[in-house]
Structure 1
């Protein structure tokens, strides 16, 4: 079994919420995903998790596809409970929020007008507790929520929703070609993979002709600044062009969290090289109503420099 896999067979949860094409697609990975399968989420375990027993060391160093996937799957499994407790109120149970600024899909309509989502097969990548998928279902769409972290999807199961939850790697999607009309990812997968083009190619493969993929990531300019919400986060401290991954590692030098930097140009080139057409790039402005801080995001910084970049892509 290849790195990044979870044992078990991919099955819909429940199947009747998928179109016939998407239902048949489950359990049929692409040829380059052989041996990498998903895991059905079936248990409503208590949301209790032990804290990490060590303080990881933060550094900048190389981290390949395998190490990044292993580290981030483990990090999200360990920290899913704390993440949902800290940010669950902001995210809601069934809102579609694109980032810490609070841009809502109800207003943005980056996937299209809500009334046109009815009956569409939609894949959410890096779904976490599937808040976005839950909103899509409420519009009459047929979502599938996919995440690398089993623990995150247990939160999705806890909150509820009658749509499939799939635990799998975004770089090896376990669906047949042309299974979905739309795909979306709000800060999911793309910031954490060493080869984002692998994910983009997989997303394009499972989209039908004319399908749209919209994804949000930390705005690349933020990598030049300290990740601090106050005034100390307003002075450039790193080269924007330094693409060395940010890595947190344990006492043995094993990565326990990895995040990868791509410049704005890198993102555009990845999108185009993967066969997509970039139709819009949205940089949400910080709204007056949002007085909250989220990590390095804050009203102070949000009013001066962008914090999120949203790429709207279409498959011809």
Structure 2
């Protein structure tokens, strides 16, 4: 996560053109499913890890959150978030997910959207999130699916004419660093198996409340390339709860 690619002007410019950057949660292909995992935010203290432009911070505030802390390593991301989410109830902090101090039992909900596959040690984050949640607190996150991250290139295997043949899956049980091309640049991510994600939550003391491999929103299937997203899972959505 400490590779701060979003500070690169060219990379950030391309990211800013993505539908999820322009249209917010409505432009995210997984939002129709991720939204169903969102807890009741009324009166809750919320922490957003890897908050980006602050879309989930805004959603929590709109649904009654008492306070929201958004954490992100990118100055450019947080500058945009501060422009978009103007409320005395929100605080944005520039730091990495790994280095945030995680005050004990300071939050009721921890949310993270497509950020934890940039973190090498998921077990460590599970412990930190567990400690910062009050009893009964909820942890809801999305990551790139292990089938999507396993091979590393994150691109379809094609024939000589460029036609899609299949999605490559190899080295699945070899966890760790992967180099992927995203928005035309090399980006470092960390592959983890499904077992690693789920078992670490359970070992830490959470109990699982939902595990979802979302299909694309049916309303988006006519967008270019979207039907191919039905051929393999791209994302994994999880919600877990700390016992009372």
Q: TM-score range by the shorter chain?
A: 0.7 to 0.9
Show the counterpart of 2:109: 182
CA distance in 1, matches of 2:32, 2:44: 22
**1:76-112, Cα deviation, whole Å (9 max, x unpaired):** 22133431233355542xx377x53342555x1x132
1:284 aligns with 2:208: no
CA distance in 2, matches of 1:235, 1:88: 24
Alpha-carbon offset, residue 237 of structure 1: 5.1
Unaligned runs of 5+ in 1: 1-67, 250-255
Unaligned runs of 5+ in 2: none
In the alignment of these two chains, the number of paired residues is 227
- Please point out which of 134, 137, 142 is paired with 2:58: 134
- The TM-score, its normalising length taken from structure 2, stands at 0.82
Pick the structure with more strand per residue: 2
Alpha-carbon offset, residue 174 of structure 1: 2.8
**1:256-275, Cα deviation, whole Å (9 max, x unpaired):** 73100001111112212333
Contact 1:96 1:132 in 2 (8 A): no
Segments of 4+ in structure 1 off by > 4 A?
88-91
Alignment of 1:43-82 (within 5 A): 69=2, 72-73=3-4, 75-78=5-8, 79-82=11-14
Alpha-carbon offset, residue 232 of structure 1: 2.9
- The TM-score, its normalising length taken from structure 1, stands at 0.65
CA distance in 2, matches of 1:248, 1:187: 15
Alpha-carbon offset, residue 248 of structure 1: 6.7
Higher RCO structure (Cα 8 Å, ≥6 apart)? 1
Contact 1:227 1:233 in 2 (8 A): no
Report which stretch shifted further, 266-275 or 133-142.
Answer: 266-275
Show the counterpart of 1:151: 76
1:197 aligns with 2:123: yes
Show the counterpart of 1:213: 139
SS of match in other structure, 1:132: helix
1:228 aligns with 2:160: no
- Please point out which of 5, 8, 15 is paired with 1:83: 15
Alpha-carbon offset, residue 192 of structure 1: 0.6
Alpha-carbon offset, residue 182 of structure 1: 0.5
Would the alpha carbon gap of residues 310 and 135 (structure 1) be closer, same or farther in structure 2, given more than 3 Å must change?
same
